[in-house]
Chain A
Amino acid sequence: MGINKYDFNEKNILKFDSNEHEIAIATKKLQVFYGDNHALFDGDLEFERYKITSLIGASGSGKSTYLRSLNRMNDNVARVEGEIQYRGLNVNSKKINVYEMRKHIGMVFQRPNPFSKSISENITFALKEQGLKDKKKLEEVVESSLKDAALWDEVKDDLNKSAWSLSGGQQQRLCIARTIAMKPDILLLDEPASALDPISTSKIEETLVELKKRYTIIIVTHNMQQASRISDYTAFFHLGHILEYDKTKHIFTTPKVTATNDYISGNFG
């Protein structure tokens, strides 16, 4: 059974009623090209505020490409066309100050990537670079961010130790803490638990569910159980097309698109 047989016009994309739902970020006709390779076609999605949205799909489906375009991490490697609407601005415009924008749209990566600095410096580093000098304030941010990332109790006595002395799962939560220390609006996560063991994974998941009270979370995941456990909405990507976007429970119980149904029942991917 080939994976190319699906009709890319068979789509089911959820649109929100703007009177009832607050949209945090949305894309219009987002296209991504790596050289001649057209990696993403017409990405049209809206993300509701204070919800977790999962992006699922097989490898090479374009879900990571889509996510990394949202805070312009693909700028140097790909050509991104279309609109990314955030607070009335088109983020995908040359006029946007990307460095400023990334403070509002933070990102956590697949592999933990703490800096070769101490645990507390990992969190305060970017803040200091922005000019925050007040020691007391910085200490407060370290504590609150680590608490938000559910790491405080494990590291509160070792704040001056190197971040590399932590376990992989702890490092990833430190990366989440580092990102939310910037007080972003939106948290993008690119398969944040794929390199971690099940216990660390479930801790990250608990953390995310807690965080969605204050952040809009968009997460790419390979793990369908993870998507169904934690997310409110799910988008299904296939070969660069977004074929279905709906409430998570609809996607996993009564998908309307053939490709989605085949993917979640394990026929490919």
Chain B
Amino acid sequence: MKTKLQNNIAITVIRIIAALVVLILAFLLGDILISGVPHISWHFLTAPSQSFTSGGGIGVQLFNSIYLLILTLIISFPISLGAGIFLSEYAPKNFFTATVRMAIEVLSSLPSVVVGLFGFLLFVVQMDMGFSILSGAIALTFFNLPLLTRNIEESLRSVPDLQREAGLALGLSKWKTVTKIILPEALPGIITGVVLGAGRVFGEAAALIYTAGQSATNINFGNWNPFNSTSPLNLMRPAETLAVHIWKINSEGVMPDAAAVSAGSSAVLIIAVLIFNFSARLIGNRLYRKLTATK
């Protein structure tokens, strides 16, 4: 009787805690969405922001966030892929591997504001890159690299060794076995990780304040030459992202509708992150089903 009672108490406590977590999340999301969604309109999503008058939008910031995200992924994915393949398939158990692993651990636990300040000192000041999209993308790469590497390593590791043996026993080289058999099988997990990481990068502010800068310069969406300073694709222009914009409005915003813009921006940010999360699951499941054909 006593064991049964203990069991029931434990289960009840666990249930309450779980419900509490869901409740907090629901409250947060609900609050942000309810106060923010009414401000979202096509005009709000596309118009440039205003510093002193009301009626500004977040068009440039939204574009900056997406562009920065894409750049970050372009830089960090190949590096993480290489590091992940090395750690999962080739790394011998020695001092070097242990050091790499520890470096990744440390990098993943660095506060993002420290990464941002480091980026500021090294890229913005020392290398004279200024507040620029490129500085921001590199800072975000530091931020994203350890998580992505770990995710790729785990995904590769979760493919059973039997598959590696199958490839080798057919006379394939180790490299061919890894790239043509193991990697495709790990792909659903890798894609899921990339998209989840993208959500984190999309919402990151602290690492960008001192690297990509806090100003949304006027850009001309009719000019796609990346070497032109008003082009959206220009790598060397300062670029305030959505998350930085929210931080800035709330700390020093003087426009009359600051509260509304902040609420609307937050809602857009949350919706974007939610889309990333759900699509990560969806894409991962789809790919997995397609690969294993369990329809």
**Chain A contact residues, CB within 8 Å of chain B:** 71, 73, 99-103, 106-107, 109, 111, 113-116, 125-126, 129-130, 161-162, 164-165, 175, 178-179, 182
Minimum Cβ distance to chain A for residue B88 (Å)? 14
B293 at the interface (CB under 8 A from A): yes
B127 at the interface (CB under 8 A from A): no
> Would you call A116 and B165 a contact (CB within 8 A)?
no
A-B contacts, 25 of them at CB < 8 A, read A71-B169, A73-B168, A73-B169, A99-B173, A101-B171, A102-B168, A103-B171, A109-B165, A109-B166, A109-B169, A111-B162, A113-B163, A113-B165, A113-B166, A115-B166, A115-B167, A116-B291, A126-B172, A162-B292, A162-B293, A164-B292, A165-B293, A165-B294, A179-B169, A179-B170
In the complex the two chains form, what is the Cα distance from A102 to B169 in whole Å?
A: 6
> Would you call B160 and A116 a contact (CB within 8 A)?
no
Apart from the given pairs A103-B170, A115-B163, A125-B180, 5 other A-B contacts in the complex at a CB distance below 8 Å: A101-B171, A106-B170, A113-B166, A164-B292, A178-B170
Minimum Cβ distance to chain B for residue A166 (Å)? 10
What are the nearest 3 A-B pairs in CB distance?
A: A162-B293, A113-B162, A126-B170
> Would you call A116 and B166 a contact (CB within 8 A)?
no
> Given A109-B165, A129-B176, is A182 in contact with B171 using a C-beta cutoff of 8 Å?
yes
In the complex the two chains form, what is the Cα distance from A109 to B165 in whole Å?
A: 9
In the complex the two chains form, what is the Cα distance from A111 to B176 in whole Å?
A: 22
In the complex the two chains form, what is the Cα distance from A182 to B171 in whole Å?
A: 9
In the complex the two chains form, what is the Cα distance from A101 to B133 in whole Å?
A: 52
Minimum Cβ distance to chain B for residue A47 (Å)? 18
Of chain B, the residue at the smallest CB distance from A104 is: B171
In the complex the two chains form, what is the Cα distance from A126 to B162 in whole Å?
A: 16
> Would you call A107 and B293 a contact (CB within 8 A)?
no
> Given A73-B165, A129-B180, is A116 in contact with B185 using a C-beta cutoff of 8 Å?
yes
In the complex the two chains form, what is the Cα distance from A115 to B163 in whole Å?
A: 7
Minimum Cβ distance to chain B for residue A81 (Å)? 21
- Chain B 221-256 against A: per-residue CB contact (8 Å), 1 yes, 0 no? 000000000000000000000000000000000000
B129 at the interface (CB under 8 A from A): no
B37 at the interface (CB under 8 A from A): no
Residues of A within 8 A of B162 (CB): 109, 111, 113
Residues of A within 8 A of B291 (CB): 116, 162
> Given A116-B291, A129-B180, A161-B293, is A99 in contact with B169 using a C-beta cutoff of 8 Å?
no
Residues of A within 8 A of B294 (CB): 162, 164-165
In the complex the two chains form, what is the Cα distance from A23 to B86 in whole Å?
A: 42
In the complex the two chains form, what is the Cα distance from A65 to B292 in whole Å?
A: 31
Minimum Cβ distance to chain B for residue A176 (Å)? 12
Minimum Cβ distance to chain A for residue B236 (Å)? 44
Residues of A within 8 A of B185 (CB): 115-116
> Would you call A175 and B293 a contact (CB within 8 A)?
no
> Would you call A100 and B169 a contact (CB within 8 A)?
no
Of chain A, the residue at the smallest CB distance from B161 is: A113
> Given A73-B165, A109-B165, A116-B184, is A126 in contact with B171 using a C-beta cutoff of 8 Å?
yes
Residues of B within 8 A of A125 (CB): 170, 180
Between B167, B173, B293, the greatest number of chain A beta carbons within 10 A of the residue's beta carbon is seen for B293
In the complex the two chains form, what is the Cα distance from A103 to B170 in whole Å?
A: 6
Residue among A102, A111, A116, A161 making CB contact with B170, cutoff 8 Å? A102
Residues of B within 8 A of A111 (CB): 162
Between A73, A111, A113, A175, the greatest number of chain B beta carbons within 10 A of the residue's beta carbon is seen for A113
Of chain A, the residue at the smallest CB distance from B159 is: A116
In the complex the two chains form, what is the Cα distance from A182 to B166 in whole Å?
A: 13
- Chain B 86-122 against A: per-residue CB contact (8 Å), 1 yes, 0 no? 0000000000000000000000000000000000000
In the complex the two chains form, what is the Cα distance from A253 to B193 in whole Å?
A: 60
Minimum Cβ distance to chain A for residue B112 (Å)? 37
In the complex the two chains form, what is the Cα distance from A7 to B172 in whole Å?
A: 42
B181 at the interface (CB under 8 A from A): yes
Residues of B within 8 A of A130 (CB): 171
In the complex the two chains form, what is the Cα distance from A179 to B185 in whole Å?
A: 20
In the complex the two chains form, what is the Cα distance from A68 to B18 in whole Å?
A: 49
Of chain A, the residue at the smallest CB distance from B289 is: A162
> Given A100-B171, A113-B160, is A175 in contact with B166 using a C-beta cutoff of 8 Å?
yes
Of chain A, the residue at the smallest CB distance from B184 is: A116
In the complex the two chains form, what is the Cα distance from A111 to B165 in whole Å?
A: 11
> Would you call A99 and B292 a contact (CB within 8 A)?
no
- Chain B 151-192 against A: per-residue CB contact (8 Å), 1 yes, 0 no? 000000000101101111111110010001100110000000
- Chain B 51-71 against A: per-residue CB contact (8 Å), 1 yes, 0 no? 000000000000000000000
In the complex the two chains form, what is the Cα distance from A100 to B168 in whole Å?
A: 10
In the complex the two chains form, what is the Cα distance from A116 to B166 in whole Å?
A: 12
Minimum Cβ distance to chain A for residue B179 (Å)? 11
In the complex the two chains form, what is the Cα distance from A99 to B169 in whole Å?
A: 8
Minimum Cβ distance to chain A for residue B241 (Å)? 38
Minimum Cβ distance to chain A for residue B279 (Å)? 22
Residues of B within 8 A of A129 (CB): 172, 176, 180
> Would you call A115 and B176 a contact (CB within 8 A)?
no
Minimum Cβ distance to chain B for residue A159 (Å)? 13
